[in-house]
Structure 1
């Protein structure tokens, strides 16, 4: 049974409620605002706004049961009938429509609710009722309902009347006072004719209301379009997929409606796109715009090209994406569609920054000039066309550009605050991007607790209004911050928290998989679990479409693994090629500085720290100017180690005392443990310069040795928190050597035994983990064989 174009039993019930509201006295009542809010929420599609609290899902239902009216009306009393609720008056009006003729009378009387025009004034209008303006939301709803009912053929009116009877049927048992109205069954005409529910004529007209499911009249075509438009809005704004239960319901509704809607193809396109099904996404996109062209919607042709360009880029076909976006820009200019044109230029600017190597390989030579010129052009065009969403995104991109190039932090914060003010003033749902940028900014400044707080704020307070990719990135960044403190299990649980809804999208599943693998690889390197490292390093190879930040982190983790295994030549070639690639791409300054620091640290590991002095000094200078504090602390630690190697222990001590308190606030225990280890070496070097023959020199040596042991103990605690077995054992060996130099052989033997015990425990933990993994794999093999 095909649905009507607009009218449904639920809308008829709303018309009864509107008529009841207009027939009441014009004096204010406590029920006025709740009733009007209920009517308008189901007559007008809700406007999406991230500034307001998200409405419950029930407010988006296009077809609602009669129980919804009961929940709203049963708590309010009638102004004309004291002691009676509005639900009683509403149901009385509903059951007074006891024939098809009464339904016609309802729609005929709707014209009395509207204010008369000047051409046709009413002779006498009672003043104790409410009249609706023809241009008001309720007036438009009443006028459209009358027009749509007039257009219906008789067969569809009968179907609508039958559906209304089934829709109203459950209310007969709610109030005993209505039994007199409901005793006639469904139609007073059938009662007067003496027909019962078992008669053939009754069955031909009304069927079996108690047994049949009304699938054709539950939703109108307008309701179906609103439902699909709502799903499209969710898919486009949040980047998620349609849940399995909702997909089955949509398929069931569309199959039983018998109506083909072009929006259904676009919903399938987005769902297939997020799932990584290139063929289905391509096919559904062509279907949607083929039907749209047949329906004389040719002005949307440029949006077909825009979607095609985004689709091609997401699947790595950058050459085809450039061709499609160039055609989009040309078509948007021809049609004078400034919104599509500006969005296309913004997307092209974003892709050229995210994948510069792939875009250059596909032949893209740049359309907007330099990065600053392109952003200035987009910002000016967004202000001209009042595209505040694009303007806010451009301001955030400009702030990111200042941060990535190492320019002024205040200028970056200025653009960020402008974007935040624009979000609040124009009700733009771009709060997630702003919070992610603030998290990255405070992480670079070394204020880790604020960085994690912004990630948690996005996940807790802005989760319903932020796209899924921003929530996934916030989860990943928060997990990396937690992993810095050695809480690897908590970090992995954070990455597992998004659940199956996020993993159903291929891109997000790969992102979470790579983040979890990177944390596991870092933990395995600290534990010196080489079997796990080999397995993870072979599976965690970043692809051409991997997020640039995650791709760099994976390359850095692989470098740490090669250094820990002692493959110094391969590690040097890897970091050198990474430096060249980052320099050619104009990558983020923090990535280029991190590679320089890793190269300098590699020279320290191979016993030639002097060769990394100029590299570490240059990295420290740039990091200080750009306010990249974690890079500055690591570079200062390498410089202090080099100064210790050349005998300048006092200068190394001054450097380390200046940065260690800030490193403690940062919370990265591996960096802090390394700095404590270096300052312990510095105090040992200072103790070696003291002359023990004098009393003053002896006291200084004892004090310096005591300080060295204190900092070595702190370094050991830091390495223990991050499960760094090599660093912990190195500190224990230093304690044994210091005890040996003091002449306390017994204490030196105890520290040596502690070293062996810690090493054996670390190796035993790896062996137990291997045995558990083998037992699990054996059980799985037996289970699959059975």
Structure 2
């Protein structure tokens, strides 16, 4: 296997020389240059891509491919197609010396550098197309000439023998147009010396090379490296595995080489990792370590360590993952590789969020408040270094922290549509498939719980609990939905147990404050439902105080809503009205429809309570004004409960609308609201007022 040159590249150089000789008309230039450009840019990966999608199994560009492209293209010579000229030019390279001459003359295809004389200005030179040295074709010609000069004699002879075997299928076509050609005209020296098959000199020159030549080895080390890079990118992007046919092709390409490319071991590592084979993936990664260290270049050492950390974490060895991650960070700092350093810090931050319990058991515990500080630091470094992939992952982590406030708009259909429209190739990775499936199940469970549809929510909840997600955000969301389901079905003892378990888990894992505050709100809801508002009030005040100190506004609004709910039960209507007057305008900007509906409902209760006190104090006019205010708040709460399709909330608001209509003496309107209430669900006590 040569470093760069192959018979295919020699054939491309022949096509380029035909183009520069002005033998290609304008009509044929575009298809010819398109073919040449594709072969230069991706000689093997394009065939690999076709093969992965059901294309041909062969990855090499055969001489037949060249003929198929040039056969339908006319030339500037009457009666000759471009294929005829191509074959003629191929067979004009009729000795090893002619091959050297061909490469020596490649500089004639290039334009003269700026500041140098153009050289000969004959008519023949003027009619030629000169390639810019920085163009795609010019750079390919210059590199090919340089690589040929670097070849050792043995490699040059082997390249010549491979070239003879490569162009052999065109021999019959060439001989039909050259009847005087002898049997051994492939080498003009053999023909002039009168050698024949079986002669000692013929056996010395060509016998051993043609016998030992491997079939299908028309690849260079550069081609194999490009193919390996393509396969690695496919594995990392799509999460699929290398097919058996591609593995066979890679083995054929590597042949009996004494040095195996290090990327081949890395590809084997990724393939074994995707297959869940810990032992093989670990061994192949160590081989990748060894082969990269043989050159004495530690450039990729930290990246191998980073993959080692990911491998350890994926197979549950979190202590090994932490050790490898710390070693990666230290090595990246030593080598001043800021990109690897920032990515390592980002991954370690993700690991601490995803597996807090496991990391704590392994002896790793981040400092309090370090998660937000780490996200802010990584975001700033990513912007400064223009590392957009790191910035996108950091923003995703920041979004997950923001979503921990549970920011609910009730767009169930839109969410489900987004999940359904995810690229099907994403489902090839088991982890991503499970993540998407869990998100879809949680969205459906949220909707069914709010609809109070126990026949649907209970089976969904059991199915999700049976395959509890490992992602901490999804697991917390599932836990809170389970508690909400228990509260709505009045299973208060089970709900209290679940809340205590959740609070203990969050406290032990030093979880994000927003999650712990949400657990306190659930506890307040339980105390109110059980008729103990005084106990709930102390818990709600603790949550509000913590949210205020941390400047977490969404959590603060929810905590103050819990405080208001407790005060309503304690008949402190004036205090609730003042609190809601301050909180509701801010909460409306947050976009949490469920929270806004709850706050409007509390404000309506506060106005109704004050209205009752006013009427008892013989202030009927002020009482009716307060009833009007309550009616507006009930209307706004009803609108938001309808947006999120919350059945219990809608029934409560419809009941309040019916009561308000009765107080105003609007019997017809009260009957209409009662009818709507009965359509949503059965109620009691409406007819009696």
With the shorter chain as reference, the TM-score category is 0.7 to 0.9
Asked if 1:160 corresponds to 2:163, the answer is: yes
Task: For 1:678 and 1:742, locate their aligned partners in 2 and report how far apart those are by CA, in whole Å.
Answer: 21
Q: Which of 415, 418, 424 is equivalent to 1:491?
A: 415
1:116-155 to 2 correspondence within 5 Å?
Answer: 126=120, 138-148=141-151, 151-152=154-155
Q: Which of 545, 548, 565 is equivalent to 2:472?
A: 548
Task: For 1:502 and 1:568, locate their aligned partners in 2 and report how far apart those are by CA, in whole Å.
Answer: 41
Asked if 1:317 corresponds to 2:239, the answer is: no
Asked if 1:401 corresponds to 2:373, the answer is: yes
SS in 2 for 1:690: helix
Match for residue 674 of structure 1?
598
Asked if 1:111 corresponds to 2:113, the answer is: no
Match for residue 564 of structure 2?
640
Task: For 2:579 and 2:301, locate their aligned partners in 1 and report how far apart those are by CA, in whole Å.
Answer: 63
SS in 2 for 1:540: helix
Gapped runs of 5+ residues in structure 2? 53-57, 111-115, 186-196, 198-213, 684-689
Task: For 1:437 and 1:418, locate their aligned partners in 2 and report how far apart those are by CA, in whole Å.
Answer: 15
Q: Quick check: 750-759 or 93-102, which moved more?
A: 93-102
SS in 1 for 2:239: coil
Residue 228 of structure 1: CA displacement?
0.6
Residue 686 of structure 1: CA displacement?
2.0
Match for residue 12 of structure 2?
14
Check whether the contact 2:240–2:429 (CA below 8 A) recurs between aligned residues: no
Residue 602 of structure 1: CA displacement?
2.4
Q: Alpha-carbon deviations, 1:368-416, whole Å to 9, x = none?
A: x8886xxxxxxxxxxxxxxxxxxxxxxxx7xx3377xxxxxxxx4x873
Residue 227 of structure 1: CA displacement?
0.9
Residue 220 of structure 1: CA displacement?
3.6
Task: For 2:14 and 2:34, locate their aligned partners in 1 and report how far apart those are by CA, in whole Å.
Answer: 15
Match for residue 643 of structure 2?
721
Residue 223 of structure 1: CA displacement?
0.9
Task: For 1:88 and 1:552, locate their aligned partners in 2 and report how far apart those are by CA, in whole Å.
Answer: 71
Match for residue 432 of structure 1?
392
Check whether the contact 1:62–1:226 (CA below 8 A) recurs between aligned residues: no
Task: For 1:262 and 1:15, locate their aligned partners in 2 and report how far apart those are by CA, in whole Å.
Answer: 30
Match for residue 712 of structure 1?
634
Asked if 1:420 corresponds to 2:383, the answer is: yes
Asked if 1:601 corresponds to 2:597, the answer is: no
Q: Alpha-carbon deviations, 1:103-149, whole Å to 9, x = none?
A: 86254232244599xxxxx9x96465869989977533322145459
Task: For 2:65 and 2:582, locate their aligned partners in 1 and report how far apart those are by CA, in whole Å.
Answer: 66
Task: For 1:68 and 1:650, locate their aligned partners in 2 and report how far apart those are by CA, in whole Å.
Answer: 86
Match for residue 254 of structure 1?
250
Task: For 2:36 and 2:308, locate their aligned partners in 1 and report how far apart those are by CA, in whole Å.
Answer: 40
SS in 1 for 2:615: coil
Residue 349 of structure 1: CA displacement?
6.0
SS in 2 for 1:98: helix
TM-score, normalised with respect to structure 2? 0.72
Change (3 A) 1:186 1:283: farther
1:18-33 to 2 correspondence within 5 Å?
Answer: 19=17
Asked if 1:97 corresponds to 2:60, the answer is: no
Q: Alpha-carbon deviations, 1:478-536, whole Å to 9, x = none?
A: xx97xx33332331232233344222222212222222222122122112232433333
Change (3 A) 1:723 1:99: same
Q: Alpha-carbon deviations, 1:634-683, whole Å to 9, x = none?
A: 22222222333333323322332333344334333222221221122122
Check whether the contact 1:98–1:186 (CA below 8 A) recurs between aligned residues: no
Match for residue 736 of structure 1?
658
SS in 2 for 1:601: helix
Check whether the contact 1:357–1:585 (CA below 8 A) recurs between aligned residues: yes
Asked if 1:754 corresponds to 2:676, the answer is: yes
Asked if 1:266 corresponds to 2:190, the answer is: no
Task: For 2:416 and 2:530, locate their aligned partners in 1 and report how far apart those are by CA, in whole Å.
Answer: 33
For the aligned residue pairs, the C-alpha RMSD in angstroms reads: 5.2
1:252-401 to 2 correspondence within 5 Å?
Answer: 253-254=249-250, 256-257=252-253, 259=255, 263-278=263-278, 281-282=281-282, 284-285=284-285, 306-322=306-322, 339=337, 342=341, 346=345, 351-352=351-352, 354-364=354-364, 400-401=372-373
Q: Which of 703, 712, 733 is equivalent to 2:625?
A: 703
Task: For 1:67 and 1:734, locate their aligned partners in 2 and report how far apart those are by CA, in whole Å.
Answer: 83
SS in 2 for 1:242: coil
Task: For 1:183 and 1:93, locate their aligned partners in 2 and report how far apart those are by CA, in whole Å.
Answer: 11
Task: For 1:190 and 1:673, locate their aligned partners in 2 and report how far apart those are by CA, in whole Å.
Answer: 96
Check whether the contact 1:13–1:94 (CA below 8 A) recurs between aligned residues: no
Asked if 1:659 corresponds to 2:583, the answer is: yes
